[in-house]
Amino acid sequence: MTTYHHDDETMLRWGHSWKEEDRVADYVERMDSRDAERQDVFRLLAQLVPAERGAPIRILDVGSGYGPVAAACLDAFPNATAVGLDVSDAMMEAGRPRMARFGDRFAYIHGDFADGALPPQAVAAGPFDLVVSARAIHHLPANLMARLYGEVYAALNQGGAFFNLDTASPETPFLHDLMRSVRRSEGEPRPERAERTPEQAAHDAMHHHRDATLARHLEWLRAAGFAHADCFWKRLSTALIGGYKEA
Ligand SMILES: C[S@@+](CC[C@H](N)C(=O)[O-])C[C@H]1O[C@@H](n2cnc3c(N)ncnc32)[C@H](O)[C@@H]1O
């Protein structure tokens, strides 16, 4: 059984446990084993972007990790450029060799969105035609997710779009247990809880908040200003949601 150690106070900021090298290595290996399934959803995401394939669009990937979403968008839009925002050096180290094939079409930006704000260095790299994110924004508590959606809207050009492939919490405890048992029967690892201080355990429990349902994500998108906010794909509690900033 793998045990991850949190020995840095800063790990208590939302999402910062991804600075742990062992956790990153396990994650990248697990996602590589599911790559075909993920690519299907990324292809759908790219089809929803309101731009010609040859357009030189500017992309921001929030919580880019090893870069899979940015890579899929750069493949779909051969004249696009992208920046990947992340706080984890270990993730960016894992991503650099994978993203090297894009040359100067891709760059990482080291920065933190734990307060629900896009860091100034990410805003300065825009404005963007497309903002994407996968499995990253759920690290925030609900009020900060809603805030971040507003920040993303502000960083987009008119006519731009935002897509987030992430957790949409089931509406009822029955659905929560049902979906979790299906995911575990399909091999999802149980979260490790060993070696946690009480503060870290409380932080982890917050991470698994249940108020970020699909309905609320869509509410937050609309409140941020997005038009045509919708869920474009969903499997169990993973949903591809997004919206458009009207031209
Ligand atoms: C589960 S990984 C997802 C990586 C990639 N988007 C994917 O779909 O495989 C979550 C990523 O979000 C980043 N992240 C989490 N919280 C963050 C924060 N507060 N600021 C910046 N990056 C953050 C982590 O470092 C990690 O790389």
Q: What is the mean pLDDT of residues 206-212?
A: 66
Residue nearest to atom 16 of ligand 1 (CA): 15
**Confidence at residue 4, expressed as pLDDT on a 0 to 100 scale:** 40
pTM summary value: 0.91
Q: Which domain holds residue 14?
A: 9-244
Domain count, the chain: 1
Residue nearest to atom 1 of ligand 1 (CA): 135
pLDDT, tens digit, for every residue of 74-100? 999 999 999 999 999 999 999 999 999
- pLDDT classification of 3: cutoffs 50, 70, 90: very low
> Residue 160: enclosing H or E segment and its boundaries?
strand 156-167
**Confidence at residue 153, expressed as pLDDT on a 0 to 100 scale:** 98
Is 1 domain-assigned? no
* Phi–psi pair at 105, nearest 5 degrees: -80, -15
| pLDDT surpassing 50 at residue 236 | yes
C-beta 142 within 6 A of ligand 1: no
C-beta 94 within 6 A of ligand 1: no
Burial class (CB in 10 A: 0-12, 13-18, 19+), 180: middle
C-beta 164 within 6 A of ligand 1: no
C-beta 170 within 6 A of ligand 1: no
Rounded distance, CA 76 to CA 42, Å? Answer: 10
- pLDDT classification of 217: cutoffs 50, 70, 90: very high
CATH code of the domain in which 105 resides = 3.40.50.150
Rounded distance, CA 84 to CA 67, Å? Answer: 7
Is 86 domain-assigned? yes
CA atoms 5, 11, 17, 22: torsion sign: negative
Is 97 domain-assigned? yes
- pLDDT classification of 215: cutoffs 50, 70, 90: very high
Is 4 domain-assigned? no
Cα-based distances in Å from 16 to 148, 161, 240: 17, 27, 23
